[in-house]
Amino acid sequence: MKVCILGNGLISLTLAKTLVNQGIYVDILSSKNNFKYKKNQTLGISKSNVDFFNKNIINIKNLLWDINKIEIYSENLNNEKILDFKNYNEKLFSIIKNHELYDLLSLSLKKNRKCNFKKILNSKNLLRRDYKLIINTDLFSPLTKKFFHRRIKKNYKSSAYTSIIRHKKLENNIASQIFTATGPLAFLPISNTETSIVYSYNGRDEFNFKKIVNRFNKSYEILSYKKVSSFELQLVNLRSYHYKNILAFGDLLHKIHPLAGQGFNMSLRDINEILRIINLKKKNGLDLDSSIFKEFEDRMKHKNFIFSNCVDFIYEYFNFENNIKNNILSKAVKYLGKNYTINKYFTKIADSGLII
């Protein structure tokens, strides 16, 4: 059996590695031979997804920087802490550099005889090729425009700005996020001397990135900044996950606001579900056919929709507070966060997704 994965981004390679580990042959087709991630891009991986990655995909322990506490602040309460999540016995989640993870997966797949990287100039003829299953992660593929154009979409009319600061050495295992008047600002440690910054700016005026960071920075003696990158923010949920033997995947399925660092984690949970379905079919002696895609959609579509809208609710909750110029909502979050049971439940949702 041979599966085609259309697109060669990070999710594509992660999915491909999962499949070849199951003895499935994979062709990775893309219009570009080399995919480049900027060295100022990082992502967070929850503890449960790190465990899944190490067990079922590839060992990434040496690339991770563990976070054992998350602190949430609100500018509306004079930058007072309103929430914190911690686990004294183990990490909450980990940060990894995109390009390092991509290079590890790429090198491993290129050494594997069950995986081939191929360049395509036209993907319109994919349906005529001898692929039993096609998984499309390419937002600009003709298959996307033809079969996966119906989506629920929200434009935040804002952009995320990312960089990495280099600072004097310190014990650096606490992530923090400040809900500022112009959008959430996150400090995500990646070593004792470097921290990733993600600022989601929803204002209309021009701003100085360094001044914003310096204004809310409480922990770091900054020595330098890497280049600042930006991307537009959207909420996207695809209406239909598959068409016959073609499955949409990755950012094509869902995009969310980066304030909770859950975009890549959602895709990892999708991969986990695909793997579960494949293993169940193999155990029962059933064919690996397009019924996998229907089962996947039935299991994950409602979960992904609810989870992505929960993240959107968090964003709009604090955005509404800024618009009405009142701190009552931050005070409510602070009050609820003191409840051990509620705090533990929020932590579990962030780690494993919705408990439904």
Q: Which of 92, 105, 22, 19 is nearest to 60 (CA)?
A: 105
Residue 352: what pLDDT? 74
Please give the average pLDDT of every successive group of 10 residues along the chain, which has 356 residues.
Answer: 92 97 94 73 94 97 95 90 79 93 96 92 62 92 91 94 96 94 95 96 89 95 95 95 96 92 94 97 93 97 94 89 76 75 72 64
Total count of residues recorded for the chain: 356
Q: How many domains does the chain have?
A: 1
Residue 24: what pLDDT? 95
Question: Domain residues for 216?
Answer: 2-352
Cβ-count burial 2-27 (b if 16+ within 10 Å, e if not): ebbbbbbbbbbbbbbbbbbeeebebb
Dihedrals phi, psi of 293, to nearest 5 degrees: -70, -40
Residue 91: what pLDDT? 86
Rg of the chain, C-alpha, whole Å: 21
DSSP 305-354: HHHHHHHHHHHHHHHHHHHHT--HHHHHHHHHHT-HHHHHHHHHHHHH--
CATH number of the domain at 331, please: 3.50.50.60
Tokens of 254: 């869902």
